[in-house]
Amino acid sequence: MIDEAVEVEHFTRERRQCRTADDSLPMTRSPPRQAEDAGASNASPPALVVMLGGLSGGSLESLVRRALEASALDSVETALATDRYGRTLLLTDTRPAEALPSGTEVEIDGDEDFHFGRRLADAVAEHHLGSTLYLGGGAGPLLQGDDFEALAGGIAGPDPACVTNNFYSADLFAVTPASLLAGLDPLPAADNGVPRRLREDCGVDVVELPRSTGTQMNIDSPGDLTALALTGSTGPRLAAVLAGEALDTERLAGAAMTFTDRDSEVLVAGRVSSRTWQYLERETACRVRLLAEERGMGAAGRDADGSASSLLGQLLASVGSQAFFGDLLPDLCDAAFIDIRPALIQLGLHASRADRFAADVGQAAMVEDDRLREIVEAANASPVPVVLGGHSLVSGGLMLLNDWAWEEHDRALGL
């Protein structure tokens, strides 16, 4: 696994009205692994705040829920082993079935009107948290102790600061002082836009962790679990959950191995960042054909209001699923990894979570929506391996699969 460490740049803003049209966009840097001046650091270690909930339903949804819980508790245990964190709060809607790491405090929320920003701000105020590391339930299933050291070190100084895995679409963030979260107006409805809001609304210095498989991998759907099951790269609780499932990894493995073939061409489509493209160009042997569209769709609310537009969706509407996957796609690539969510919005297809999850693992028979079932059936029948999924597929998922493919490639050569 090769970490992508990019030259450092600070991104601060004195106050919101100072924003100008030519403000630079954030790059990445590695935050300090430890505070430079222990005397100037925060008086108490940051708290861990983990949110887990809002997921129930059919078999695939239940699987993802169990995996999210297992992954979250694995992450808590890894973080606490660094001795850089204080108390741990698990904010959840049901009591965990897994054994809890020592000292973890559980608060069960039964509020049907749950609001992310309000709940997080309330937890900070109620427990008098000076600084905190927030983790979404599926965030960072591959994070290691060094990553948690970096997150704690990045907020150890006396000045307001935030460290995250993704400035534009965060799955986790460390912030000091934690009371800044209550000052965001309106309070954020979801976690992914918080670091950007802290910079733009409060002038906070925001730093991204170096992009690696560990910092970018996230669990959003059963497709992500299939990738984790294929590669065997998880903590013990999550590994036990995956071991009890018969996840079909054959299509995924076939698609991933094309990364090591210099004669192959791979299509990657959806909410793909420029840095993911750079990674693929640098770390794969194949040629890469890229269709990047609707970056930041979720954070901007373009999925919720239906305003997202997609060239892939327009193409599917124009030629039909069978012609696209059966005739056009094989002429373009030898394997395809497609974040299908923007295309579904373009098609006006408001699929249920259960249907989206079934699509991500190619289970066409489980998809109730006729149009989405047709897409999945056509993708499954394509002469080339097609992997459908969400944003995590075309970010951390690609990095994880590429790591695995090269390990298999080298193992086959006896290297």
Structure confidence by residue, pLDDT tens digits, 106-137 = 999 876 788 999 999 999 999 999 999 999 98
Q: pLDDT (tens digit, 9 = 90+) per residue, 1-49?
A: 333 333 233 343 333 332 322 333 344 444 433 333 333 346 689 999 9
Enter the tokens of residue 286. Answer: 């194949």
Mean pLDDT value of segment 220-244: 95
Residue 396 neighbours by CB under 8 Å, 6+ apart: 142, 213, 215, 216, 217, 218
| Strand 265-270, strand 287-292: pairing | parallel
pLDDT range class, residue 51, cuts 50, 70, 90: very high
Q: pLDDT (tens digit, 9 = 90+) per residue, 159-185?
A: 999 999 999 889 999 999 999 999 999
Tell me the C-alpha to C-alpha distance, in Å, between residue 363 and each of 85, 96, 211, 352, 357.
41, 28, 32, 14, 9
State the CB neighbour count (10 A cutoff) for residue 101. 19
Structural domains of the chain, with CATH = 16-215 (3.90.550.10), 248-412 (no CATH)
Q: pLDDT (tens digit, 9 = 90+) per residue, 196-220?
A: 999 999 999 999 999 999 999 999 9
- Residue 351: its pLDDT value, please? 95
- Residue 36: its pLDDT value, please? 36
Tell me the C-alpha to C-alpha distance, in Å, between residue 150 and each of 27, 95, 171, 227, 392.
17, 30, 16, 26, 22
Mean pLDDT value of segment 373-391: 98
Average pLDDT, the chain: 89
Better-predicted residue by pLDDT, 35 or 257: 257
Helix (H, G, I), strand (E, B) or coil at 4: strand
Residue 137 neighbours by CB under 8 Å, 6+ apart: 50, 51, 52, 53, 68, 69, 71, 72, 219
Enter the tokens of residue 306. Answer: 């239906």
CA-nearest of 388, 100, 399, 406 to 270 is 388
Q: What one-character-per-residue DSSP string does 100-168 give?
A: PPTTEEEEE---TT--HHHHHHHHHHHTT-SSEEEEETTB-TT--HHHHHHHHHTT-SSS-EEEES-SS
pLDDT range class, residue 56, cuts 50, 70, 90: confident
Highest mean pLDDT among 92-96, 229-233, 356-360: 356-360
- Residue 15: its pLDDT value, please? 35
- Residue 373: its pLDDT value, please? 98
173 half-sphere exposure, CB direction, 13 A CA radius: 31
- Residue 299: its pLDDT value, please? 75
- Residue 261: its pLDDT value, please? 98
- Residue 42: its pLDDT value, please? 60
